[in-house]
Structure 1
Amino acid sequence: MLNNEPPAQNRARTLFDLIAIGLVVAILTIIHYTNYHYEVDYHILLQFAYYLPVIYAAMRFGPAGGIISSFVITLLFLPLMTHFQHTMTPAAKYTQWVEVGLINVIGWLTGFLTEEERKAKRKYQRALTVQKELVEKLKREGQERERLEGEIRQTERVIALGHMSAGLAHEIRNPLGIMKVSIQMLAQEKSDDGVVTEYCRVLLEECERLNRLMSEFLTFARPKELVRERIPVGKLLDEEVSLIQPTLWQKNIELEQARNSIDRQEVEVDPDQMKQVILNILLNAIDAQGEGGVIHLEGVQQDGLVGFAVSDEGPGISPDAMPYIYDPFFTTKEKGTGLGLSVVHRILDQHGGKISATNRSKRGVRVEILLPSV
């Protein structure tokens, strides 16, 4: 029987139905026995009324309800029926016994058909549930497939750009070094000329900026071979947190940590490259935070993966920009190179890990880093 009602309400309804069926049967029986002096036809007519509680009991409680109610009615009615046997014709007697048999047959048959209908409904409900689960599963698989396709496209772009940038960066660094030396010599010769000295200072700063860009370029384009070792996640995080403490104090930012669950968990990684990942994520959060506020650093575990999540209270990432944040040279910072998250994505890809960034419900961004746990 399909029933989505709460247990207490279901028990109350069952009790009410049993009382109602019992009252109807009792009333009909009392009418029969208190009016036994009436004609036999009158009692036969009343006997048809017994079908109502029998059918309802069968529909409500299945075959058991139909059989028990019809059997009880038969026991209650038999004495009165026996009393009228000597006044009835053979045809009337036969009809009377047929009626008794029909009450029992109808009770069982109605209960049986009701139970079959309920079984069919249960099968339909199970099929519907399975169908919904399959739809949800297909939806999740579709989302996972889209995510994997996105990562594949990202990796392809990174590889293509890496090949191009390696040669380009190498060719640029040589003339850049010559330019830097030339500017330094010019600045020394014209040290008494304030205008030339200022121009040389600006040119040297730009040369340094280009040199840093070329260094990031080469790091991105020519990744080092991994030198893996087993190391607790807490140790990796502690070293990088200590490095950013001066910056946090300078900007009056509080770093709130909740990582006890993962500090002793070990991962097999290249410590130097993973420190680069952690430092990049923490510095991005500080840049997004601005002045004051709280940055949250928490431990994360999921399906054999362990890592951390960093949440800031900054302005967040616009939905239009979110699909491109791992693309090389895509940046929303005025002085950013756009290679930071690309390098992080490549390093995690080499380690079999993953990165995800989502906007928080109120404000800010939550970046989650996960690595295979040893």
Structure 2
Amino acid sequence: MSDFDKIQIPSMKTYFNAFRHSANFMLLVDHDGKIRDVNEMHAVFINQTRQELVGQSISEIFSIIDPECDTPVQEFLENIKEQGFVESITTYQRSPEDTRYYHITIHYDKETNMFIVQMSDCTEKENLQIQLAHSGSLSAVGQIAASIAHEIRNPITTLKGFTQLLKVSATEDSIRYIAVIEDEIERMESILGEMLILSKPSEKKKSVFSLEVLVRDMVSILSPKAVMDGVEVVQEAELSSTPLIFGDPDKMKQVLLNLFKNGLESMQTGGKLTIHLSEYDGKLILSVTDTGKGMTHHQVSQVFMPFFSSKPGGTGLGLPFVLKTVEDHGGTIAVESHVDIGTKFTMTFPKAKQGVSSPLNSEQSIIS
């Protein structure tokens, strides 16, 4: 008897247990696209019961993970038969606060005429790649800003000095032109300042403060503009305790102003800006939702990249600043948008530990 003959072939039960207890989500699909079996990870990956899945078309799974998927099932399966194997990475919005990335592989087994679908969660890997790309972009911005800041600021200072001198003997028409020049100089300084903010490490001027108070203060600042534009601003809160966070209130004010202004500027008369603050599992969740023109999928994917802007005259530095500041505060930010429906930004922050600093009470204002 050869050594090969002595090898003990695993029982069918062994293969079945490997399928059943895999850490990945696995499905067996027949030639008609019907799900014949799933393993125990169905509840973890898509929060569906076995009874809800078995007997259904595989298209049901794809529509849950990717609502925009509209490829006919039979056409899709025929392509897999020809290739034998396909793979892809799909983004699954499990909840407004939870975006997952699933690596999906589908094998076709000619002997059984069955399709083996396997999904693995690669969210952590994808997030690391996004963070690396983001860090690289900010590093490039920082290098550009550092190299040109000195060269730009010197002529700007000279221009500002001469415009002041020209005002002394300028005619009324000339003063109007000088005002335009001063506005453009101010805009140049603002853009340079935003670039430098993105490139500089976060300063350690942090304290404990109420996110609810901060939101209320920033809304009061923008309320006159909202009234003039005919936009309704709604504040909502579902809190069981004072929503304290540890960070830099000045930078957080700028974050909120950026998001609120973007929302207001995207809407016409009759629009609605909703600001909702809640808490879950030791975290604070702040969402800013508008009923504006919305963004395409491509715009959403690029929205936090430096210099990308969908607004005429926009610098494309506001949202990268928002992302950097939120991350500096230990938080996360996600965006969901639909064209002609609106946009929703959702931020999560860890609640502050008691005793870190003297927090502001819920009645104090933190407008500076």
* Structure-2-length-normalised TM-score: 0.61
1:350 to 306, 310, 328: 328
> Post-superposition shift, 1:134?
7.8
Q: Deviations over 1:82-141 (max 9, x none)?
A: xxxxxxxxxxxxxxxxxxxxxxxxxxxxxxxxxxxxx99x97995642265687686462
Matches within 5 A, 1:273-284: 273-284=251-262
Q: Deviations over 1:271-302 (max 9, x none)?
A: 11111111211111111123232111112434
- The structure with more radius of gyration: 1
Are 1:130 and 2:40 matched, yes or no? yes
Cα distance in 1 for partners of 2:327, 2:289 equals 22
Aligned to 2:178: 200
Aligned to 1:164: 144
**1:310 counterpart letter in structure 2:** V
Mapped contact 1:234–1:263 kept (Cα < 8 A) = no
Mapped contact 1:254–1:292 kept (Cα < 8 A) = yes
**2:155 counterpart letter in structure 1:** P
Mapped contact 1:252–1:291 kept (Cα < 8 A) = yes
1:367 to 342, 345, 349: 345
Change (3 A) 1:186 1:301: same
**1:255 counterpart letter in structure 2:** V
Are 1:326 and 2:304 matched, yes or no? yes
Mapped contact 2:295–2:338 kept (Cα < 8 A) = no
Deviates more, 1:182-191 or 1:265-274: 182-191
1:264 to 242, 246, 257: 242
Q: Deviations over 1:24-83 (max 9, x none)?
A: xxxxxxxxxxxxxxxxxxxxxxxxxxxxxxxxxxxxxxxxxxxxxxxxxxxxxxxxxxxx
Matches within 5 A, 1:235-274: 235-261=213-239, 264-274=242-252
> SS of the counterpart of 2:279?
strand
> Post-superposition shift, 1:203?
2.0
Deviates more, 1:283-292 or 1:122-131: 122-131
Are 1:189 and 2:99 matched, yes or no? no
> Post-superposition shift, 1:166?
2.7
Matches within 5 A, 1:84-99: none
> Post-superposition shift, 1:303?
4.3
Cα distance in 2 for partners of 1:126, 1:154 equals 38
Structure holding more helix per residue: 1
Q: Deviations over 1:203-241 (max 9, x none)?
A: 222112112222222222224413222222211211111
Mapped contact 1:235–1:263 kept (Cα < 8 A) = no
Aligned to 1:221: 199
Mapped contact 2:284–2:350 kept (Cα < 8 A) = yes
Aligned residues: 253
Q: Deviations over 1:300-346 (max 9, x none)?
A: 43443213101000111111221211111111111211111111111
Flag structure 1 segments of 5+ consecutive residues without an equivalent.
Answer: 1-118
Structure holding more strand per residue: 2
Change (3 A) 1:250 1:223: farther
Q: Deviations over 1:160-179 (max 9, x none)?
A: 31132133123211211101
1:301 to 253, 273, 279: 279
Mapped contact 2:293–2:339 kept (Cα < 8 A) = no
Cα distance in 2 for partners of 1:125, 1:217 equals 52
Matches within 5 A, 1:95-174: 128-130=38-40, 132=42, 139=119, 141-174=121-154
Cα distance in 2 for partners of 1:166, 1:262 equals 45
Mapped contact 2:230–2:268 kept (Cα < 8 A) = no
**2:299 counterpart letter in structure 1:** A
* RCO higher in structure (CA 8 A, sep ≥6): 2
Aligned to 1:97: none
Flag structure 2 segments of 5+ consecutive residues without an equivalent.
Answer: 1-12, 22-37, 47-101, 104-118, 353-368
What is the root-mean-square deviation in Å for CA atoms of aligned residues?
2.9
**1:164 counterpart letter in structure 2:** I
Aligned to 2:159: 179
Cα distance in 1 for partners of 2:234, 2:44 equals 41
Change (3 A) 1:263 1:182: farther
Aligned to 1:10: none
Change (3 A) 1:186 1:368: same
**2:236 counterpart letter in structure 1:** A
Cα distance in 2 for partners of 1:315, 1:322 equals 13
> Post-superposition shift, 1:252?
1.6
Cα distance in 2 for partners of 1:368, 1:357 equals 6
